Amino acid sequence: MAAQFHQNGGSSTAVMEIEPVYMLPLPSKNQSAGGIPTTTPPHSSLRWTSSDEEKQVDESSPPTPLTATEVKEKWNYPRANIQRVSACFYSFIVMGANDAAYGLQEYYHLSYLVISLVFLSPFVGYTLAALLNNHVHTRLGRRGVAIIAACSHLVAYLIIAVHPPYPVLVIAFALAGFGNGIADAGWNAFIGNMDRANELLGFLHGLYGAGAVISPLIATTMITKAGLPWYAFYYLMIGLAGLEIVVTGTCFWTATAREYRDSVAASSGSTGGGLREVLFKKPGARVAWPCAFFLLGYVGIEVGLGGWIVEFMIQVRHGGAFESGITATGFWLGLTIGRFVLGFVTPRIGEKLAIMIYLVIAVGFELVFWLVPHFIVSAVAIGLQGFFIGPLFPAAIVAMSKLLPHHLHVGAIGFAAAFGGSGAAVLPFAVGAIAQAKGVQVLQPFVLALLAAIFLVWCGLPRMEKKKD
């Protein structure tokens, strides 16, 4: 403090001007006992000013919040997410193309039961992915997810393309299932925790459906019009998987294990979320298990219809090979459009109610498909059924993200997605096994029973508030 004295003429009084003293604020819970802040907001620069501007903060500095709140990531925030979300979209196109392209029976001259092993074998891969997903995230980060998934795809397609003996082919499909399980779990958990997750997951799974629409169309054209063998399609898949390695590996290269662990700790204050906590402790077990069985049934319906519809339309509806292949394309197209369109409707209704409505409508179209023995009616019904079951998977992922704390998201969503993905293996195999004895017409009552079962499972989930993502 400095003081200046001025004498006022002959007066005996003196005026003392004292320069202002600026005092630091009292210590808060974020300050040490000495009054020094323990943390400083980024980009903040306090400036002490004259009395006219006292207690003002530099305009470039945002005010310090009184309480810390979690800011959800967006598809474009931080900016690296633009490339990463795009990479996830591309990965799902590859996965969709993989799941929809089968055409092996005539080449290997095998029964429905034996051919169905190519549906069952990915179960091994999906199971392994469910067990290892959280470990891969914590040890290798999302970079590890990207590289492992894409490399598994590439190796599997290389093996399939050389049309090896059938037992080797079964192993190759198991490897492809592992790649799908790792990517399915990782990218669903990554995007499912973002702002506006319903719309983003609608696009993600819509692009999966787009891959599934394009691949049977291309494969059917190559086989029936160009006269190429079934395995020629996998030459294209090799190229797609090679590009997947480049795209996802590059976009997620900086997404290390440290980055993942830090993000979980920052948002939830916990680095837990292991599989044991998810599966055997509340609230994780209360949500993860029902959603896992829901997705198991849903994916079984999706891939069972997509994989067996061509054979059903040929054998039961007496359609031609090309027309029946187009029916499968219509199913996947309906699935894709449903995910894009209903992804904007679901959050306005609420995930729980929306899924119940979609399932009731899907049961109606399934009954039309089954009970009206007309090729055109069946083709239209299967397309509309695809439209209404399309948003079930993304809406279930969003529901899990709302019902669980953040540190459980990767473990729970990853487990449910990978476990549910095994439905792509187990349930189409079951259809094939029953079809071997009873004929492929068993597909329709089987799908109807699954629709009813997953409706009941979904009703058992805890209530959730209807709110925007």
Cα 412 to Cα 49, 274, 282, 345, 362, distances in angstroms: 52, 9, 12, 25, 27
On the question of pLDDT at 59 being above 90, the answer is no
Over residues 334-359, mean pLDDT: 93
**pLDDT reported for residue 361:** 97
Q: How confident is the model at residue 354 (pLDDT cuts 50, 70, 90)?
A: very high
**pLDDT reported for residue 271:** 54
What is the tens place of the pLDDT at every residue in 362-384? 999 999 999 999 999 999 999 99
Q: Coil, helix or strand for 57?
A: coil
**pLDDT reported for residue 140:** 94
Owner of token pair 């719309």: 199
| 364 compared with 329, residue with greater pLDDT | 364
DSSP code, position 46: -
Over residues 38-45, mean pLDDT: 40
Region of poorest pLDDT, from 233-247, 331-345, 416-430, 446-460 = 416-430
Averaged pLDDT of the chain: 81
**pLDDT reported for residue 121:** 83
Over residues 312-338, mean pLDDT: 88
Q: How confident is the model at residue 102 (pLDDT cuts 50, 70, 90)?
A: low
| 135 compared with 159, residue with greater pLDDT | 159
Q: Does domain 80-459 have CATH number 1.20.1250.20?
A: yes
Q: Where are the alpha helices (DSSP H) in 162-196?
A: 166-192
Contacts of 239 (CB under 8 A, 6+ apart): none
Which residues is 74 bridged to in the sheet? 77
Q: What is the DSSP string of 271-310?
A: ----HHHHHHSTTHHHHHHHHHHHHHHHHHHHHHHHHHHH
What is the tens place of the pLDDT at every residue in 248-298? 999 999 999 998 888 777 665 555 567 788 888 888 889 999 999 999 999
On the question of pLDDT at 116 being above 50, the answer is yes
Over residues 128-149, mean pLDDT: 91
On the question of pLDDT at 38 being above 50, the answer is no
Owner of token pair 């993905």: 421
**pLDDT reported for residue 283:** 83
Q: How confident is the model at residue 334 (pLDDT cuts 50, 70, 90)?
A: very high
Region of poorest pLDDT, from 56-65, 111-120, 242-251 = 56-65
Q: Which long-range contacts (CB under 8 A, 24 or more apart) does 59-63 make?
A: none
Closest by Cα among 50, 49, 44 to 63: 44
Q: How confident is the model at residue 75 (pLDDT cuts 50, 70, 90)?
A: very high
**pLDDT reported for residue 273:** 60
What is the tens place of the pLDDT at every residue in 183-197? 988 999 899 888 889
Give, rounded to a whole angstrom, the gap between the first and last alpha carbons of the chain.
Answer: 55
**pLDDT reported for residue 67:** 42
Owner of token pair 């997620």: 252
**In the chain, domain spans:** 80-459
Task: Determine the Cα–Cα distance for residues 140 and 68; give it in Å rounded to an integer.
Answer: 29
**pLDDT reported for residue 103:** 63
Region of poorest pLDDT, from 103-107, 144-148, 217-221, 277-281 = 103-107
The tokens describing 49, both together, are: 């000013």
